[in-house]
A and B are shown apart, each in its own frame.
Chain A
Amino acid sequence: MIPSEVKGVMVGVITSAIVLAAAFTGGTVYRSQYITSKQPASKPLSPENLAAKGRGFFFQSCAHCHGQDADGGEDAPSLLKLQISGAHIALVVQSGIKDEMPSFAKKYNEQDVSAIIAYLKTLH
């Protein structure tokens, strides 16, 4: 029969090893997930690729009101030679204009809006 003190040493060592292993494993897994979540999802696009991506979004959501050539439609103004800043364009795309233009905040994220802006800046 094992003396209680020896049995106690075994229980103590095993308990200690288990909790330390659990803490280090949990901490390492959490750390790696945290680092992964902090990394950008993809490489930033070049200006040309960004504009090309924005062109796709433009034809998908903007062209039927603002025209295929962005020169304006019946109810929407021309987007050629815009004199407003990128931040202003982003605000309009994300917030919309009451009774005139819908908000695209749910459809396009920040990077998508940047792509639309990049495309609109090429229309000079």
Chain B
Amino acid sequence: MIPWDKLHGAMTHFPIALLLFSTACDLVSVALKKRPLSRELRVVSFYSLGIAALASVGAVISGIALTKGDLWGRGDFGWHHRFVWPAFGLLMALAGWRLVVRNAMSRFGLYVYLIMMVLASGLIAAAGYFGGEILLSGGGVP
């Protein structure tokens, strides 16, 4: 029997931490403009986003297994899912976009990307918050 609860708890922290870190790196790199560190931060943010996207697949699979395929639910469990699905979709879209564009993005593209990254970070942070609430309220998994 696979301990999905423990596996999900372990796997979810990677996409959350890496997406937030990637967003922070992008924002700092924009603030630093054309300094050498700015370019290095872009590289770090690129790989962080890629690993976050890959890790999120494992987190989603373990979550589906843990909830026996219940994709919505109620209470904290429902709120967790309301934030998880948009965050997951947006994370995958951003990773796909970044993989193609790399650093060859226009100013407009960069700003749209940053806004989307901040939005995805907010969504995944909220999903993580309600995931923690489920755990603290005694594990509301059906």
Instruction: Say yes or no for B17: interface residue by CB 8 A criterion.
Output: no
- Interface stretch of the complex, out of A7-15, A55-63, A94-102: A7-15
Whether the pair A12, B109 counts as a contact (CB closer than 8 A) is: no
B37 at the interface (CB under 8 A from A): no
B43 within 8 A of A: no
Tally of A-B residue pairs with Cβ under 8 A? Answer: 77
Tell me what chain B mostly uses at the interface: helix, strand, loop, or mixed: helix
Bound together, the chains give a CA A9 to CA B101 distance in angstroms of 9
A16/B89 in contact, CB under 8 A:
yes
Considering the complex, give the chain B residue whose CB is closest to the CB of A4: B101
> Considering residues A4, A5, A24, A31, which has the most beta carbons from chain B within 10 angstroms of its beta carbon?
A5
> Number of residues in A with C-beta < 8 Å to the partner?
25
Interchain CB contact under 8 A, A34 and B96: no
12 intermolecular pairs with C-beta atoms under 8 Å apart: A5-B97, A8-B96, A8-B98, A11-B99, A11-B100, A12-B94, A23-B64, A23-B71, A26-B69, A27-B71, A31-B70, A31-B71
Tell me the A residues contacting B by CB distance below 8 Å: 4-5, 7-9, 11-17, 19-20, 23-24, 26-34
